[in-house]
Amino acid sequence: MNPKTPQTRAEAEFRQRLLKEAQAPYRGLRQVMYLVFAASGLIGAMIFLLKLIAGQADQELLGNFALQLGVIALMISLWRWEQKNSTKS
């Protein structure tokens, strides 16, 4: 492309999208993974919570429930961190 030729709107938008992707590669994939792991943690936490309500509480069950809650908290914090860093750029 000749530098003296004006860019069309589509070319400018495409260039902006490429620059954004270069600054944060695989951002979309990371966000999908955060959602998938958070959903998995939520499903697991619901199952362990139902077992706790049913009276099947033992030490291993409590540990697994805490692990699921930790996964959910981690994914939420990673999501927020990703959002905060994307607004800086």
List the alpha helices (DSSP H) in the chain: 9-23, 27-53, 59-88
Note whether residue 75 is domain-resident.
yes
Query: In the chain, how many domains are there?
Result: 1
Q: Per-residue confidence at 4, pLDDT binned at 50, 70, 90?
A: low
Percentage of the chain with pLDDT > 70?
91
Q: Residue 2 has what pLDDT?
A: 56
For the four alpha carbons of 47, 64, 44 and 86, in that order, the dihedral sign comes to positive
Note whether residue 5 is domain-resident.
no
Range of the domain at 69: 32-82
Note whether residue 55 is domain-resident.
yes
Identify which has the larger pLDDT, 3 or 45: 45
Note whether residue 36 is domain-resident.
yes
Note whether residue 20 is domain-resident.
no
Note whether residue 70 is domain-resident.
yes
Closest-CA residue to 64 (of 80, 77, 81, 47): 47
Q: Residue 28 has what pLDDT?
A: 86
pLDDT in tens, 28-65: 899 999 999 999 999 999 999 999 999 888 889 989 99
Note whether residue 76 is domain-resident.
yes
Task: Tell me how far apart the alpha carbons of residues 40 and 29 are, in angstroms, rounded to a whole number.
Answer: 16
**Cα 85 off chain centre by:** 13
Note whether residue 53 is domain-resident.
yes
Q: pTM score, two decimals? A: 0.72
